[in-house]
Structure 1
Amino acid sequence: MPLPAVLVWRAIQPNIIRYNLQVRRFQYVPKHKPCSKEDIEKLQDFVTRTRNLLVLTGAGISTESNIPDYRSEGVGLYSRNTYRPISYKVFVTSPKARQRYWARNFVGWPRFCTAEPNITHHTLARWEKKGRIILLVTQNVDGLHRKAGSKQVTELHGTSYVVKCLSCNATMSRDRFQTILHEMNPDLNLEVAEIRPDGDVHLDGMLVENFEYPDCECGGILKPDVVFFGDNVPTGRVRYVYSKLDESDGLLILGSSLEVYSAYRFPLKAVEIAKPTMIVNIRRTRADGLPGVTNISARCGEILPDVVL
């Protein structure tokens, strides 16, 4: 006897939900082929031989957490619109630019800060607990490695979770700053369709023009503690990563195209000091073809869990 329609609906609804979640989870992942047995064996061999890993991660690993990257073909922000992230020079010299930035960031923050780590983040945290990672360096500012439990993390480009004064160096949590912005803009709608890799969103011009934001109590400019385009990674941070790379047995790069020099310098350094390097990324990278560098075209969340330590 056929089930009543309502019971049939209830029976299949969990599968529909799982399917929809899967589609949403991969909406920012570029088209790719399933990883092959040979790819898994290649990565397994590298990890087995390289006992003390320095791992470098890029925006590609967070796309499975529903945070888009900039450059992926078809799904990255640069391929879908003309948006470009704000530069350091524009942010510090233009009050209007800061108003626009903070308005967009305010609306995007509730979704950005609730993003959850995916299987790649959790796998790397597990590797660290097993003593296989001496340092995890990330280009991402989303804090997902720390959410997953990784401790030995260097956030190369800083973190969106801290706001810092450019004059007196005072800091506050981004959540506290969100409360301040909300108190200054109580009527602004926080619903948004899509966030960007830095937590920014698109907003109507009228909403931006009426947005209010504070300066520091000292009168200085408040800025997210992240490295904006046109700014430099602190020298001490780079030197520390170099020192850990020297201590390591090899470099594993995950989900990064290495287009920006702040990250590309590390495979260059690895080549210089003869450290074996493995790159796992769906599309080609800037370091392809460097001596001593091996590439695997694969989705990190598919291939990493198959590696046995």
Structure 2
Amino acid sequence: MRTTTWQAEPITREPATEEDLDAVVELLAGRRLAVLTGAGISTDSGIPDYRGPDSPPRNPMTYQQFVGDPAFRRHYWARNHVGWHHMTATEPNAGHRALAALEQRGAVAGVVTQNVDLLHEAAGSRRVVDLHGHYNEVVCLQCGTTVTRTELDARLTALNPGWLERVEEVGDVEIAPDADAVIAATEDFVIAACEVCGGVLKPNIVYFGENVPRERVARAFEIVDDGDALLVAGSSLAVMSGLRFVRHAAREGKPVVVVNRGVTRGDALATVLLHAGTTETLVELDRRLPDVES
């Protein structure tokens, strides 16, 4: 995933009206939709957005920092140990469930998500590409062994007795979209090594500075190609890993609908822009769009 930071231009988009939603329904009715989702779809599940209009500035750890500095790894795993417990308690919201229902009715060809929270799968979506991986798997960078995050949690808890309780007492925790959390002091946290080779363990997600695996990108493009239109829900499209699918759909002459609070990097390519929340919009689309025969 490219590390270039994109800053939204100071453009104000008026909140969507009923007429705007009518235009979206008219455009999408009878078409199979490829759907691209970002952090904005999960905010109503209690997972804050990185780049939403009201989000505080954040500096995600890069792949180079993680692999190159033991202090960065310790800090990451300490924060992640707290954030993971929050992520496991989150539930799909009505927007996730609406997309699953639309897929069942043939109106959604599949979902490509930039999120790592697995909420689309939990809601019942069947054809999902987790573009950046997911939070519940850990990989050894030396031997490639993978373990579940649940297994690692047991080891981290044993290595750091009472640590979670101390953090909760301090209350210095902020959950972030990558199963991370912000904690002031992590110097005493003990990290776990691979039980097979002693190598470095890393969440099996794509960090800033890493590339999305080619096979995963290919599956995502298949979903976009199988759709008659592309619906972007809750993404600023700030990184190329998501924006490329919008560019591809636009080049193919497919309608692109962008539903997001605030401007996105793909606004100029959109057929229709809807400045609205994803949950209410997706629920309304589920209610109003007809079934689509395969």
TM-score (norm 2): 0.87
3-state secondary structure, aligned to 1:169: coil
Which residue of 1 is the match for residue 234 of structure 2? 255
* CA deviation profile, 1:52-91 (whole Å, cap 9, x unmatched): 2110000011111111111122x3131xxxx311100110
The 1:264–1:116 alpha-carbon spacing in structure 2 relative to 1, beyond 3 Å, is same
* CA deviation profile, 1:124-164 (whole Å, cap 9, x unmatched): 01111112222100000111111111111100011001111
Residues 1:275 and 2:254 aligned together: yes
**Is the Cα–Cα contact under 8 Å of residues 107 and 189 in structure 1 kept in the other structure?**
yes
Could you tell me which runs of 5 or more consecutive residues in structure 1 were left unpaired when the two chains were aligned: 1-31
**Alignment map for 1:1-309 (pairs within 5 Å):** 35-50=16-31, 52-73=32-53, 75-78=54-57, 83-190=58-165, 191=168, 192=171, 193-205=173-185, 208-216=186-194, 217-290=196-269, 293-307=271-285, 308=288, 309=290
Q: Give me the whole-angstrom Cα distance separating, in 1, the residues matched to 2:92 and 2:16.
A: 21
Q: Give me the whole-angstrom Cα distance separating, in 2, the residues matched to 1:186 and 1:135.
A: 43
Q: Give me the whole-angstrom Cα distance separating, in 2, the residues matched to 1:223 and 1:252.
A: 32
**Is the Cα–Cα contact under 8 Å of residues 231 and 258 in structure 2 kept in the other structure?**
yes
Deviation, structure 1 residue 107: 1.6
**Is the Cα–Cα contact under 8 Å of residues 69 and 77 in structure 1 kept in the other structure?**
no
Deviation, structure 1 residue 112: 1.7
May I ask how many residue pairs the two structures share in their alignment? 270
Q: Give me the whole-angstrom Cα distance separating, in 1, the residues matched to 2:209 and 2:56.
A: 19
**Is the Cα–Cα contact under 8 Å of residues 237 and 266 in structure 2 kept in the other structure?**
yes
**Is the Cα–Cα contact under 8 Å of residues 35 and 299 in structure 1 kept in the other structure?**
no
Which residue of 2 is the match for residue 15 of structure 1? none
Deviation, structure 1 residue 34: 6.2
Which stretch of structure 1 is more off in the superposition, 241-250 or 145-154? 241-250
Deviation, structure 1 residue 293: 2.7
Q: Give me the whole-angstrom Cα distance separating, in 2, the residues matched to 1:227 and 1:293.
A: 30
Which stretch of structure 1 is more off in the superposition, 55-64 or 166-175? 166-175
Q: Which has the larger radius of gyration?
A: 1
Deviation, structure 1 residue 188: 0.3
**Is the Cα–Cα contact under 8 Å of residues 64 and 209 in structure 2 kept in the other structure?**
yes
Deviation, structure 1 residue 247: 2.4
**Is the Cα–Cα contact under 8 Å of residues 33 and 298 in structure 1 kept in the other structure?**
no
Q: Give me the whole-angstrom Cα distance separating, in 2, the residues matched to 1:271 and 1:34.
A: 24
Report which structure shows greater RCO (CA 8 Å, sep ≥6). Answer: 2
**Is the Cα–Cα contact under 8 Å of residues 77 and 196 in structure 1 kept in the other structure?**
no
Deviation, structure 1 residue 181: 0.3
Deviation, structure 1 residue 35: 4.2
Q: Give me the whole-angstrom Cα distance separating, in 2, the residues matched to 1:85 and 1:149.
A: 30
**Is the Cα–Cα contact under 8 Å of residues 129 and 219 in structure 2 kept in the other structure?**
no
**Is the Cα–Cα contact under 8 Å of residues 35 and 233 in structure 2 kept in the other structure?**
yes
3-state secondary structure, aligned to 1:62: helix
Deviation, structure 1 residue 33: 7.2
* CA deviation profile, 1:33-61 (whole Å, cap 9, x unmatched): 764211221221132142x2110000011
* CA deviation profile, 1:214-251 (whole Å, cap 9, x unmatched): 11121221111110011111111112222332222111
Q: Give me the whole-angstrom Cα distance separating, in 2, the residues matched to 1:239 and 1:201.
A: 31
Deviation, structure 1 residue 298: 0.8
Q: Give me the whole-angstrom Cα distance separating, in 2, the residues matched to 1:286 and 1:204.
A: 33
* CA deviation profile, 1:150-189 (whole Å, cap 9, x unmatched): 1111000110011111122211111111111001001203
Could you tell me which runs of 5 or more consecutive residues in structure 2 were left unpaired when the two chains were aligned: 1-12
Which residue of 2 is the match for residue 10 of structure 1? none
Q: Give me the whole-angstrom Cα distance separating, in 2, the residues matched to 1:111 and 1:247.
A: 35
